[in-house]
Chain A
Amino acid sequence: MATREFAAHDAHVHAAPTSWIRKYVFSLDHKVIGIQYFFLALTAVFVGMFLSLLMRIHLIWPAAALPLLGEIKPETYLTLLTMHGTIMVFFVLTTAPQGGFGNYFLPIQIGAPDMAFPVLNMLSFWVTALAFVVMLSAFFVVGGAPLHGWTGYPPLSALPAAGPGEALGADLWVISIALFCLGALMSALNFITTTLDMRAKGMTLMRMPLTCWAWFITAILGLLAFGVLLSAGILLLLDRNAGTSFFVPLVTINGQLTGHRGGSPLLWQHLFWFFGHPEVYIAILPAMGLCSQLLSVFSRKPIFGYKAMVYAMLSIGFLGFMVWGHHMFMSGMSPYTAFAFSVMTMAIGVPSAIKTFNWLGTIWKGRIRFTSPMLFALGFVSLFISGGISGPFLAQPVLDIQLHDTYFVVGHFHLIMGVASIFGIFAATYYWFPKMFGRMMNEGMARWHFFITLIGTYAIFMPMHYLGMAAHLRRYSQLTELKYLHGLVPLQEFMTYAAFVTIAGQFLFLFNLFWSMKFGEKATDNPWEATTLEWTTATPPPHDNFGGHIPVVYNGPYEYSVPGAPRDFIMQTDPAILKAH
């Protein structure tokens, strides 16, 4: 095994590039690519956030004339929500945790000089970046961006006549997603191979930090899920442009026959959610891994139940492929299958609960250091509980009758998939920034950012549950038509004000990020006194990560407060306690 690993390493040793283009643009270095993914996601998240702000403004002041943009029309509201959802899910929640931090830190944490396939890695990034440009271009074509929602249910998404934005804008939307799938598939292959083949001597699977486990499992999910979405996207493109009818039965739009016949709208839903549900875990698993890591580091305690954590993530990954039908309880699918999907969905709550108990177990009897990454990790746990607790409601078809497609769902997935994952991204940024950029981020600003974001996101998304119980449907651009919505408008107003404050708080993060790159306090090699391999190397790490040698690993990743040890942490590369264990 060892010889094979070293052979693999040797094959990938490449000299540091000298030209600016090969160093910063078309780089093969996983660290540069990680940073590129990070900035792509950063751009995307501010675009997505801006779209959500416009939505919130439109809901409360539908007739308001905005500077440069004018009045937002009902159909524009739908394009805003479509593009907000698509950009956030693909280019932020999938891109930052895996493409960004995974790329940068997976090789270093397992003691490899780079990813297994550096060229493929570069290609993954640039295809993803191209996908983002194509997605944004949909705003600028005739008819504008599509309005079919991020789930893109046909026939609405398949027929150019079905609405404004459903012509060229919708084509660009599908093409962008297909490109994104290609990038994600290449990236997934790279992550899996790297994890299996590139680990340093002594880095057994069960000595990997939980972050690596999370990236590894996420990559497997990505490999199985994005292929299906890619195929579905191609079929949808064919339906739109080549006269096929995979998803479109005999329908008329405004009385006009469309020429399609025999297709099944439900087929798209099955394919989409076969991707779409694992996608939720693709977004959240890296955050789970990272927050497990941080709770241990900053409680100065070993992670509670390492094996249970690994098995829980594996079960989540496995069960994640068997629950897609819970998005379709009201779709016309057989009610018997709803029963089966419901049982599986409730079952997937079990490993999620195990993880939560283990997080609480990790901080229990610790010595908690309230650094900014730790604050975000604790915030993540709180959000994961709040977002998770609404899951069992939606997982039961009989309750889903009332809650499906209401704000209850929007509140649920924003807390658990959106905000909790974003907290993971923030935690990762504050935690790894010193290693990536050589300086510390400002703790004062970080704390303000944390409390504004925690309180603000709760203020935005908790009321959505109340709205949903009162049957307030999502994707409604005006609240004037249905009478029972009128009484709910004050709550919507409150959420919009909360959004203003929360979004303002994000500029504190942005400022801190760029300010600290230039003026932050210089970081030492191991500022957090953590044990994993990235903290054994220089800050920032050299081109080959460890400066010409491959580390040898002797310990698990969470040896904190070991009785009798001289310090309260033992590096993974420290042979001192080899005999004791």
Chain B
Amino acid sequence: MGLVLLVVIWLITFISAYFFLAKTWWLPVGASAAAAGIDHHFSTTYILMGIVFVAAQLALGFFAWKYRDRGATARQALYSHGHNGLEITWTVLTLVLFVGLNFMSSSIWASERFRPAVSDAVEVEVTGMQFAWYFRYPGPDGKFGATKPELEDPSSGGEGAIGLDTSDPASKDDVVTGTMYVPVNREIDVILRAEDVIHSFFVPAMRFKQDAVPGLAIHMHFTPIATGDYEIACSQLCGLGHYKMHGILRVVSQEEFDKWIAAREAEKQ
């Protein structure tokens, strides 16, 4: 029985580890400035934890087989209540490993989240509702017009869906779209809102995730570094259509972005 258990535990360990090592399934290719640092720390954690995982499982399987009851003639089990030196050793080692990892990652976290967006960041307001995302740009005046809950009408889409108050002068040049356009290599200052329930704005390729909470306007920033289309998903359960609440983040060159936003402004006039 000890041998069977050893084989089963080792096989489970090797098969699990194989797919991790072969990277058969892996993080999507990163496309933001933060991705490299995050992915590097992910790999560090991964290697350290992987070693612990394999070593502990192999030891478990090996001990089970090695110390099986071999019948009446065999030696007695060791009479030992433990070893304080060992207890202290592995306590200190795990403490160093875990807290050390934490401090390594904290600097990345701090650089991402402890500072506001740079002053020349591109502002985009993201509004989540059951079950769509809308994106708003402040226009040439650099100011977002007022929105009012009582004006919200999801069936009308666009400006109506986010409850834009068209009587506010600042709202005259606001652009509301269903696809998120941003220029490459610029920091994007995302302002997250939700109208009804909690949603979560997730762009896997950008390593960007943040809940959109009703009643709060949450600022969070990221910098895309590669042009292309990236899927946006809702990652917080928001109701029956949660699975279909998705959108596209389109990262384009600065010129294309300027051209695109100018065309939207022209449409409004």
Contact = CB atoms under 8 A, between A and B. Distances in A.
25 contacts: A75-B240, A159-B197, A248-B214, A249-B215, A264-B215, A300-B76, A354-B90, A357-B90, A360-B63, A363-B64, A365-B78, A368-B69, A386-B16, A386-B57, A389-B52, A389-B53, A398-B41, A399-B38, A401-B208, A402-B204, A455-B8, A470-B27, A478-B244, A482-B243, A483-B231
A74 B28 contact: no
Interface in A376-407: 378, 381-382, 385-386, 389-390, 392-393, 395-399, 401-402, 404-406
Interface stretch (A34-42, A194-202, A230-238, A328-336): A328-336
A396 B101 contact: yes
Contacts of A147: 239-240
Contacts of A385: 53, 56-57, 60
Contacts, number: 329
Given A399-B42, A469-B25, A476-B242, A378 B195 contact: no
A482 B246 contact: yes
A14 interface: no
Interface of B: 1-2, 4-5, 8-9, 12, 16, 19-20, 24-28, 38, 41-42, 45-46, 49, 52-53, 56-57, 59-60, 63-64, 67-70, 74, 76-83, 86-87, 90-91, 94-95, 98-99, 101-102, 105-106, 108-110, 112-114, 130, 149-150, 152-155, 163, 194-198, 200, 202, 204, 207-211, 213-216, 218, 231, 233-244, 246
Given A253-B130, A396-B102, A405 B235 contact: yes
Contacts of A395: 102
Interface stretch (A303-311, A502-510, A544-552): A303-311
A251 B12 contact: no
A353 B76 contact: no
Nearest to A78: B240
B27 A473 contact: no
A398 B86 contact: no
B69 A343 contact: no
A350 B91 CA distance: 6
Given A301-B80, A402-B204, A405-B236, A367 B67 contact: yes
Contacts of A447: 1
Interface of A: 74-75, 78, 147-149, 153-156, 159, 162-164, 248-255, 257, 263-266, 299-308, 330-332, 335-336, 338-339, 342-343, 346-347, 349-350, 353-354, 356-358, 360-361, 363-370, 375, 378, 381-382, 385-386, 389-390, 392-393, 395-399, 401-402, 404-406, 447, 451, 454-455, 458, 462, 465-467, 469-471, 473, 475-479, 481-484, 488, 491, 558, 560-563, 568
Nearest to A369: B69
Given A365-B67, A473-B235, A484-B28, A330 B200 contact: yes
A350 B95 contact: yes
Given A254-B154, A301-B80, A368 B2 contact: yes
A405 B77 CA distance: 46
Contacts of B207: 401-402
Contacts of A375: 1, 5
Nearest to B26: A469
Nearest to B197: A156
A250 B87 CA distance: 54
B202 A473 contact: yes
Contact of B69 (A254, A367, A481, A563): A367
A563 B238 CA distance: 63
A44 to B, nearest CB: 23
Nearest to A475: B237
Contacts of A399: 38, 41-42, 45, 105
